[in-house]
Amino acid sequence: MPPILPMTAPYHHGDLRAAALQMGMERLESQEQPDLGLRALARDLGVSATALYRHFPNKDALLDALALEGLNRLGWHQGEAAKAAGGGRAGFAEMGVTYVNWAVKHPALMRLIYTRVGKVDLDVDDPSAMGEAFHQLRRGIAATMPEDLAPEQRTTATLHAWSLVHGLAMLILDGQVDFDPAMVRKVVLMADFSDDCHNP
């Protein structure tokens, strides 16, 4: 799922839902905190609010769809980074670095994602429900952990990895830690997820 190119003109025909998501993503790019409305988005697209309501019955539906789209785009970038690193442990590390760097580049979208995503079941690998980023997290764990790893240990390793990169990303976004790409890489590479194999 390569990134969609930015819209350069008002919407005229075709897939209105996809156009609305793309325009919503563009609006979020210029924000520190997510702030979107259906009527304003319809006006930007050059369509009636009624037309947009057919695809998103309310603002919550729009925000939920944007959050899932954000997770899918994040996951796509993580997958590409892992592939470029050759997969395995090196690929998994690059996924973590990509998570933090992507969050810093897309602060409003990152905040939107984690105000819309509810409780996550780390034992379920369903990208349609959790987004491609969670799917990539599960794939990364599978690529670095022993095949016979007990389910509870796999869940612990998954939470460990996610907590590390998400915590670092939010510390940076909240201004508690300066963003330094070299530091991000060092912190991620310092993690040894093999410890989770021995500490259920």
**Are 49 and 78 found together in one domain?**
no
Domain count, the chain: 2
What totals of helices (H) and strands (E) does the chain contain, helices first? 11, 0
Residue 87 phi, psi dihedral angles, 5° rounding = 75, -165
Token pair 């695809």: residue:
55
Q: How confident is the model at residue 76 (pLDDT cuts 50, 70, 90)?
A: very high
User: Could you read off the pLDDT of 104-132 as tens digits, one per residue?
Assistant: 999 989 998 888 887 777 776 665 667 88
Question: Distance between CA atoms of 136 and 65, rounded to whole angstroms?
Answer: 19
Q: Quick check: is 170 in a domain?
A: yes
Mean predicted confidence (pLDDT) in 133-149: 85
Q: Which domain holds residue 115?
A: 66-198
